[in-house]
Amino acid sequence: MLIDERFNYLNNELSKESKNRNESLENFQKIIETDIPKIAEGLKEEQNEMIEMDNMLNKKINDEMNRLVQVVMGEKKSREETEEALLEMLKAMINAMKNQLEAERKERYYYVNI
């Protein structure tokens, strides 16, 4: 009887362990079949969102860079036009001064020779 009791006890314990093992295997199977694909899909979606955000950020950076290049080019053109206008104004002033000096020289020559 003692042997039968121990046999039954061990058999019950073995059955419990077997049942626990089967439940654990079923849980692992469920995780493998459902949870892991969900996680993988979530990661893929997150990766796609990150790529999309990177592309949007890259486009914004390029747009801003192009805008800044246009601003700098406009400023450069404006500066060059201003420099040209100043140069022309200086040339005109120099010519006016030369003409004025020439006129004064002629005037002095006229008064000296009279």
Q: Is the pLDDT of residue 114 over 70?
A: no
Q: What is the pLDDT of residue 47?
A: 97
Sorted by where each begins, the domain ranges of the chain are 1-81
Per-residue pLDDT tens over the stretch 6-65: 889 989 999 999 999 999 989 888 888 888 889 999 999 999 999 999 999 999 999 999
Q: What is the pTM of this model?
A: 0.54
Residue 87 neighbours by CB distance under 10 Å: 10
Q: Give the integer Cα–Cα distance in Å for 25 and 19.
A: 10
